[in-house]
Amino acid sequence: MIIANNVTKKFGKLTALNNVSATCGKGQCIALIGPNGSGKTTLVKCMLGMVIPDNGFITFNEKNILHDWLYREHIGYMPQIGRYPENMTIGQLLNMMKDIRFKSGGQSLDEDLVKAFKLPDLMQKRMRTLSGGTTQKVSASLAFLFNPDVLILDEPTAGLDPVASEILKEKIIAEKQKGKLVLITSHILSELDDLVTHVIYMQDGNLLFHKSIDRLREDTGEQKLSKAIASVM
Ligand code: ADP
């Protein structure tokens, strides 16, 4: 579904991505892990078309994403820190996004998270007044709103309370079971345990490995995924 083909990205002298290739398919939930500065966010931003590789390219359903901007409609992105117009209310923001959806011809909306996070009770609240956790709930709701085929979630539970984290986790599992592709970065390894099918490990801009969790368990001798991941970091 999304394929990175020999992607290299440099910022000045620093090589943020060094000839990275990866194939990410339907129904997979891929944990993108590695130390800070290893290139995870840069890879994700290349997939979103927000960063343009110096070499190599990314395809989505066999089309180069830089030649086909409509592909973005199929990707839901939850940034680590969502930034929104400060004076807009949650209701205005959601309505604006729905308008964009309908104007582009898309009809189906997924408001499961909007309801589960009880955002309808907070529609009059302005974005600048929200706590970090509520802002994260808005970000998560927006990522799923257009019913995307691919979900890219950057540290999705950072700042969420345990109940909201569990709601989000269940939603991710449900979407994965529907055949969606989920890419997730997280520092909280234990939360990946019931979620992940594959692991991509990055270090210094290099993709060191891309394995199924069964293979990772076998190679490390650790049954628990979080322990298997910890043992290679
Ligand atoms: P990670 O997400 O794994 O923490 P990043 O992809 O954010 O890593 O960063 C990889 C490297 O690229 C880091 O050294 C970071 O400082 C650098 N980098 C990322 N974005 C930029 C940018 N816009 N300009 C300059 N350097 C950047």
pLDDT tens column, 90-104: 999 999 998 887 777
Average pLDDT for 45-56: 95
pLDDT at 105: 74
Q: Which amino acid is at 91?
A: G
pLDDT at 102: 77
User: Could you tell me whether strands 63-64 and 55-60 are parallel, antiparallel, or unpaired per DSSP bridges?
Assistant: antiparallel
- Summarised one tens digit per residue, pLDDT across range 143-155 is 999 999 999 999 9
pLDDT at 86: 96
* pLDDT > 90? residue 16: yes
Say how many Å lie between the CA of residue 39 and the centre of ligand 1: 6
pTM: 0.92
**Cα(211)–Cα(67) distance, integer angstroms:** 30
User: Could you tell me whether strands 181-185 and 150-154 are parallel, antiparallel, or unpaired per DSSP bridges?
Assistant: parallel
The fold adopted by the segment(s) 2-232 is Rossmann fold (3.40.50)
**Cα(83)–Cα(133) distance, integer angstroms:** 13
Phi, psi of 143, rounded to the nearest 5 degrees: -60, -35
36 Cβ inside 6 Å of ligand 1: yes
Ligand 1 atom closest to 39 (CA): 6
Say how many Å lie between the CA of residue 46 and the centre of ligand 1: 12
Name the percent of the chain in helix, strand, coil, to the closest 5.
40, 25, 35
- Summarised one tens digit per residue, pLDDT across range 179-202 is 999 999 987 787 888 899 999 999
Rg (CA), the chain: 18
* pLDDT > 80? residue 70: no
Indicate the average pLDDT of the chain. 92
Q: Give the list of residues 6+ apart from residue 37 with CB closer than 8 angstroms, or none.
A: 204
pLDDT at 186: 82
* pLDDT > 80? residue 208: yes
Domain ranges of the chain: 2-232
148 Cβ inside 6 Å of ligand 1: no
Nearest of 191, 199, 204 to residue 216 by alpha carbon: 199
pLDDT exceeding 90 applies to what percent of the chain?
76
Q: Which amino acid is at 130?
A: L
Q: Where are the alpha helices (DSSP H) in the chain?
A: 40-47, 90-103, 112-116, 132-145, 162-177, 213-220, 225-232
